Amino acid sequence: MCFCIIIEDDIELNNFEIINVHIGDHVVAAAAAAVDLPSVRLSCFAHTIQLCIRDGLKNLAYMSRVLDKCQRVAKFSHKSCKIADLLDELNKHINKMNITRWNSEYMLMKSIFSIGKNDLESISKLMDDPVKFSNNDYIILEEIVDVLEPFYEISIQCQAEKIVTVSLVVPAIVHLIVHLRDMKENVLFCTKFVEQLQSSIEKRFSGIIHRLNLVDVEENYPFNDPLYFMATVLDPSLKFYWIRDLKLAGNIENRLKQNLIQLILDEISKDLTTISTRQSSDRSNSLSSTTTTTTTTLCLSSIPKVKRRRRLFIYNDNNDDDDDDDSNNPIIRLDPVTELEAYLNDPIRSRFSEYWFHSRLNLLKKLVVRIFSVQASSAPVERVFSHAGLILSSRRTNMSEQLFKDLVFLKVNQSLL
């Protein structure tokens, strides 16, 4: 597993030297991935959510009818001064629709519904071709807004300026599953809409759904990477709290937790085995060029400790993030089970970067720095491309490559200056 930029197309970008991960108001600098590690391609979460919405809106005649009425009202309202004045008096606004973004459809219907039936009739009378909303239309509008509200909130959060990591993905999917399950019992006209959304989520996030249901996950399943669950559990604000929303039976909930814990332990074991193999190889090469290479499976507790010089003022809290401080503590450095148990039993629920900056759980911290470099959405990367396009304009074609890289780096990280 290595670092990669999450994108919507079938392109992989990896082997970056530094990736800055913004979490809250903080930044975690993630080191570069080794060249010999396999690359990982992860789909854009925000884009997949948008595809789910498109699937839900397919082949729904009543949805198209209501949306068409909303579009007609919005189109005329932005051309009529009388309607604009009336909306100002009501302190209301009708959003425009952008065909490339489902969010705009949601905001359009929500703005129309918020006006109210009586005021909307007054606006309709000012139109050349009045649009009438029936009582059923208002019920459909209300149900659509209620169903799509969490989808909208999740999409906005994923595309925010502050980069959201993959720890958001699993809790968001769980929230949507529970939300649609509850809405299905309360809607009158939009039952098929809810069912199509449920079917799309099960299809497009089948890797996550199968793992939640304790079913074997195939490699070709979308969102099948265990990274999503590991990142969620290792986020101190999430841990296992999100499982409560599923309302599982006690034994099933415990099995799910144990499976997720085992995913983290297996990943740490892979890292330690890789490091131990490299260290053994380096030592054998330095001792003799004719040594015979043997493959050895090392236990986690048998990793040799390197004697290091003791640092001055090791009691200083500012050095808590240094791995050398715990070199004499075998429990913290060599036992991932103990570290993970200590982390899960820790009642502190601080921000992610604050928690791990002060944490002395070094094995977990190394895994955290690596997996939290992955973002939930490609929107931040696309903004980088936009900045690069503005910097390298047709009037600045003589710019050197290094200067161009420096300017893009400064532009993207200007909040840190």
- Asked if pLDDT for residue 91 goes beyond 60, the answer is yes
Q: Determine the Cα angle at 48 with ends 219 and 8, to 5°.
A: 80
Q: For residue 351, list its beta bridge partners.
A: none
Q: Determine the Cα angle at 109 with ends 91 and 134, to 5°.
A: 95
- Asked if pLDDT for residue 210 goes beyond 80, the answer is yes
User: pLDDT tens, 115-172?
Assistant: 988 888 888 888 888 888 888 999 999 999 999 999 998 888 877 666 567 888 999 9
Least confident range from 25-29, 65-69, 403-407: namely 25-29
Least confident range from 9-13, 74-78, 108-112: namely 9-13
Comparing C-alpha atoms, which of 333, 315, 331 is closest to residue 323? Answer: 333
Distances, alpha carbon 104 to alpha carbons 50, 71, 192, 219, in Å: 12, 11, 22, 35
Q: Determine the Cα angle at 64 with ends 84 and 45, to 5°.
A: 95
Q: Are strands 19-23 and 26-30 parallel, antiparallel or unpaired?
A: antiparallel
The answer to whether 102 and 54 are in contact (CB under 8 A) is: yes
Structure tokens at 389: 């396009």
- Asked if pLDDT for residue 12 goes beyond 50, the answer is no
Higher-confidence residue of 151 and 90: namely 151
Quote the CA–CA distance of 62 and 53 in Å, as a whole number.
16
Comparing C-alpha atoms, which of 259, 26, 294 is closest to residue 163? Answer: 26
User: pLDDT tens, 252-276?
Assistant: 999 999 999 999 999 988 877 766 6
Higher-confidence residue of 14 and 349: namely 349
Higher-confidence residue of 187 and 37: namely 187
pTM of the entire structure?
0.73
Helix, strand, or coil (residue 131): coil
